[in-house]
């Protein structure tokens, strides 16, 4: 049996770096992903589509490797970097966006939102145990990712 775990996260923060620097990094998928923890492999599938392969997490008996692909688009005029799920790749569907706003040249406000689902092959009885563990692990990875980006952008305002 497969349990589908839904994840929905949002963060808002402000960094010291200028808009152009923030947009350049966040719209460059490989450069941005280099700050995300536990990525085993990122593959450019062409046409703005990237496949993520995460490191396996769990124990020797029960573990999961999350694999998914997203199509990325960037619009500097709108300060938007968006990713949409690509169906039929891996065991997850993930979408979301970065909204980047210049604060009069002094700092840059960043809003991050992502949502998706991960299919975990476990017995139905384990659903109540697996859902919070998978959701917490994803949240922990995203928080570390944001902390790494904040550091790269010179800290929060």
User: pLDDT tens digits, residue range 25-39?
Assistant: 999 999 999 999 999
pLDDT of residue 18: 97
pLDDT of residue 75: 98
For the segment 67-82, what is each residue's pLDDT rounded down to a tens digit? 999 999 999 999 999 9
pLDDT of residue 62: 65
- Which stretches of the chain drop beneath a pLDDT of 50? none
pLDDT of residue 14: 98
Looking at domain 2-152, its CATH superfamily turns out to be START domain (3.30.530.20)
**What's the CA gap between 82 and 12, in Å, rounded?**
16
Closest CA to 118 of 86, 87, 93, 143: 93
pLDDT of residue 61: 65
């Amino acid at each position: 049996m497969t349990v589908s775990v839904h994840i929905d996260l949002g963060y808002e923060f402000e960094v010291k770096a200028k808009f152009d620097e923030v947009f350049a990094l966040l719209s460059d998928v490989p450069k941005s992903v280099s700050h995300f923890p536990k990525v085993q492999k990122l593959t450019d599938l062409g046409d703005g589509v990237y496949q993520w392969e995460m490191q396996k997490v769990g124990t020797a008996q029960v573990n999961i490797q999350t694999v998914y692909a997203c199509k990325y688009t960037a619009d500097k005029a709108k300060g938007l970097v968006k990713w949409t799920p690509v169906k039929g790749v891996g065991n997850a569907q993930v979408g979301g966006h970065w909204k980047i706003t210049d604060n009069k040249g002094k700092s840059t406000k960043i809003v991050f939102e992502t949502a998706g689902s991960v299919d975990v092959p476990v017995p139905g009885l384990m659903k109540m145990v697996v859902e919070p563990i998978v959701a917490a692990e994803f949240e922990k990875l995203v928080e570390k990712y944001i902390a790494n980006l904040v550091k790269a952008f010179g800290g929060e305002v």
